[in-house]
Structure 1
């Protein structure tokens, strides 16, 4: 229970309660705020609700029951009689604080004010416009579940509980935002998760002081993680209930935000962003091969452009049998300018694809490939090698499971390319060193970002590089300090 002081307690005067809620909710100023003035069992009553948030059939059913009441049926204790006898509904509560009543009405429940009662009955008969659970676009698998999180927090927690039927699974409710009062859920398995990590995350969320969360989970991330100049993601997003459940079993803490289909997984490391559910939907050997290919693709996406530029501009670094890597013929523009233009062009194409209707997206891709790519090479704006290696880098970027990590890697690739173009070999070495220092110094809720590589843990690093069979993965990640280390 909250120890917050009640500023506007429910009055014994029915009219005062009605006037307060009427004025504060702006009944006459907002068309969707409804006040129903009623009289049942010889008592004045009023309902306050938000149009569109209430299930009409439930409300009509309750009003029909109330209309049949006689005055003596509410005696001697009308509040207890109504809540325990005459309102047959599961989600029902009482409130003494008018400010809390007002916040609850704005969140969806219906307030029932009854003459002669010093408390207000709250009936949670709300409903939201929702879509059905669908497979997430960014986390598709060939085998496995096709359901995904939606924009309603209660649906998302139920999808998780369906997979984690543990009596110690905790779903702790919080509200964030002085004006938005956004519903937040902190989820963890109490018998597994480290209490210190849970406390740090709960404290970080509770300290958020802002009007609202217009960008939902992304706003939460920026508040609790900080480090605005570090492009690398310190939490992992998922829209898959099975992925969320796996991380709960490992000892992670999840953050659900009402209105968002993405769940935040905390804390995370660099390697968490390189794992995909598809690897665990195949045989261990196949999954290990897929993970190896994905790792190679990610490293290609990061380093192939700076390395090729370095070799192309410094042929002496190549052996005689590797001279084919260089440039056959130069274009009308300097090599670095070509890379810069085509990188910007790829980003523009990606943005255009996002904002293009799906029916036209294929046509946009064809136009970009034929008109821009082919014609640009023919007129001498780009050379063939630039197109080839940029395509390889782009495939590596798109093969990265975490969209946030892929964007961070793109920024680093551009920075490394710039340093290499300006300072040559020294620039490449310095850029790579600074990148490693950044990752080593980065921590997610005091968890080293490069663990288990730095600090090194052989058993955990083996499981990161190779997709191990599930029967031998009998230990939880030690870096999370789980209460129960055995699976």
Structure 2
């Protein structure tokens, strides 16, 4: 009896939760039904709604062209500058061939079914959807006394052609890069991956911007759980808009807080993106952005460059090691030098020449902090300076200001030298976001060493390592294959393997098919 009494409250609670879930589903369905708005059959009412809702008659780029074909009044609604005028002209010419004597409401349906491909025109009965479609570049054809509109795909976005990315340049390799037009970027990937399993799913985010977001993956390779997690996070974004495109989407989905290390790898190269997709990664393309997000990513993905795979395995490995050394120097060269200067007893006898002959008018820590700020100022000035003046600005900043600062005693020669080495190592980092994060870590290490000497360096380094080891990118360990340890994958990072020896896809992505190629006989 006691067991039955204990079970009754649980059953009641379960029934209540089911009823609540059912009520929420009904409410959600009713909300979706409210969102549906039928298209008025009266063309005059359509024009009046266009004036009130989208600013027809006020905004000069909103175009409505009224025409008559036979006994039917029609109106073309499109955005000036986003519509393909040539396609619309051909469409109007074809409409003039309709016989007025046999024209009826079904004639337009038959016309579009017979004379236009299905991919170019569809019938739309929802007012809100037709408005969003036109604002995205399509053209709407409203027909008097008809409860629908014809949604015509006649986009013609202004944009530039594919160019070589300014960040991910290579000596050997393709020169095309992503642009701000989504269809161009999709085509660049499709050109390299002629795989029937390649999938492009379109999602719109932003209540006002209605930004097109494309989720791309290879269906028989990608981990379905990872794919669904990414799609759920993107669909759950509730923002007014994404005017800054992919960066705002990253912050809304990853939600990293104040962690400086990037959890997303950006790339503007179609070959790099295609290579990651062949390993089972998911990529996200955002309209109006030339950068593509590769998900998930690791710390070691961010320090690899396409140039390594454009050279022989030996040269690629050498380039990779040089890059690793540059990144290590950008992080630890300045803190270690400050530590050796402040505590010469820790300095090996072979490094006695590292000490400065004079310390200058300012403390060494202050000199390094000022030099860090100076490098950032020069970088920002180079970005904002017109290209013809950028070279002159760099010469003035690097030579004149640096030389005068040394002569006046504000800086010593060693500070300028080691700061330059650290800056070069930072700029050698393939990921711009990781380079900025490493700069923050370097500042933290410099301050920790100056304040707490050896314990400060050890504690700060340990804190950064703990942060990296506990970080996850879409539920994948950020420091893989170091933690958790994977020897095969770690060797593929230390060495650039030959193509025929790189037979397996990384375990991190949990691909449906591990092998890239059959085992050689």
TM-score range, shorter chain: over 0.9
Q: Which residue of 1 aligns with 2:71?
A: 42
Q: Which residue of 2 aligns with 1:125?
A: 154
Question: Cα distance, 1:56 vs. partner?
Answer: 1.1
Question: Which structure 2 residues correspond to residues 134-173 of structure 1 after superposition, within 5 A?
Answer: 134-173=163-202
Question: Cα distance, 1:75 vs. partner?
Answer: 4.4
Q: Does structure 1 residue 455 correspond to structure 2 residue 469?
A: no
Instruction: Give 2:340's match in structure 1, choosing from 285, 296, 311.
Output: 311
**Partners of 2:119 and 2:200 in 1: CA distance:** 19
Question: Which structure 2 residues correspond to residues 34-433 of structure 1 after superposition, within 5 A?
Answer: 34-75=63-104, 77-87=106-116, 90-433=119-462
CA contact (8 A) 1:74 1:81 kept: no
Q: Which residue of 2 aligns with 1:479?
A: 508
Counterpart of 2:123 in 1: which secondary structure? Answer: strand
Question: Cα distance, 1:324 vs. partner?
Answer: 1.1
CA contact (8 A) 2:71 2:103 kept: no
Cα RMSD (Å): 1.4
**Partners of 1:400 and 1:83 in 2: CA distance:** 54
Question: Cα distance, 1:141 vs. partner?
Answer: 0.3
Question: Cα distance, 1:35 vs. partner?
Answer: 0.9
Counterpart of 1:348 in 2: which secondary structure? Answer: helix
Question: Cα distance, 1:74 vs. partner?
Answer: 3.9
**Partners of 1:76 and 1:89 in 2: CA distance:** 19
For normalisation by structure 2, the TM-score amounts to: 0.91
**Partners of 1:117 and 1:272 in 2: CA distance:** 55
**Partners of 2:269 and 2:208 in 1: CA distance:** 30
Counterpart of 2:375 in 1: which secondary structure? Answer: helix
CA contact (8 A) 1:66 1:86 kept: no
**How many residues end up aligned between the 2 structures?**
486
Higher mean C-alpha displacement, 83-92 vs 153-162: 83-92
Question: Cα distance, 1:89 vs. partner?
Answer: 7.4
CA contact (8 A) 2:105 2:146 kept: no
Runs of 5+ consecutive residues of structure 2 not aligned to the other structure: 1-27, 517-521
**Partners of 1:292 and 1:182 in 2: CA distance:** 41
Counterpart of 2:493 in 1: which secondary structure? Answer: helix
Are the structure 2 counterparts of residues 87 and 188 from structure 1 closer, same or farther at C-alpha, using a change threshold of 3 Å?
closer
Question: Cα distance, 1:298 vs. partner?
Answer: 0.5
**Partners of 1:90 and 1:450 in 2: CA distance:** 45
**Partners of 2:331 and 2:509 in 1: CA distance:** 29
Question: Cα distance, 1:82 vs. partner?
Answer: 2.5
**Partners of 2:399 and 2:168 in 1: CA distance:** 29
Question: Cα distance, 1:286 vs. partner?
Answer: 0.5
Question: Cα distance, 1:28 vs. partner?
Answer: 1.2
Question: Cα distance, 1:18 vs. partner?
Answer: 3.2
Runs of 5+ consecutive residues of structure 1 not aligned to the other structure: none
Question: Cα distance, 1:446 vs. partner?
Answer: 0.6
Question: Cα distance, 1:486 vs. partner?
Answer: 0.8
**Partners of 2:102 and 2:242 in 1: CA distance:** 46
**Partners of 2:117 and 2:212 in 1: CA distance:** 26
CA contact (8 A) 1:288 1:467 kept: yes
For normalisation by structure 1, the TM-score amounts to: 0.97
Question: Cα distance, 1:12 vs. partner?
Answer: 3.3
CA contact (8 A) 1:74 1:82 kept: no
Counterpart of 2:167 in 1: which secondary structure? Answer: helix
Q: Which residue of 1 aligns with 2:18?
A: none
Counterpart of 1:429 in 2: which secondary structure? Answer: helix
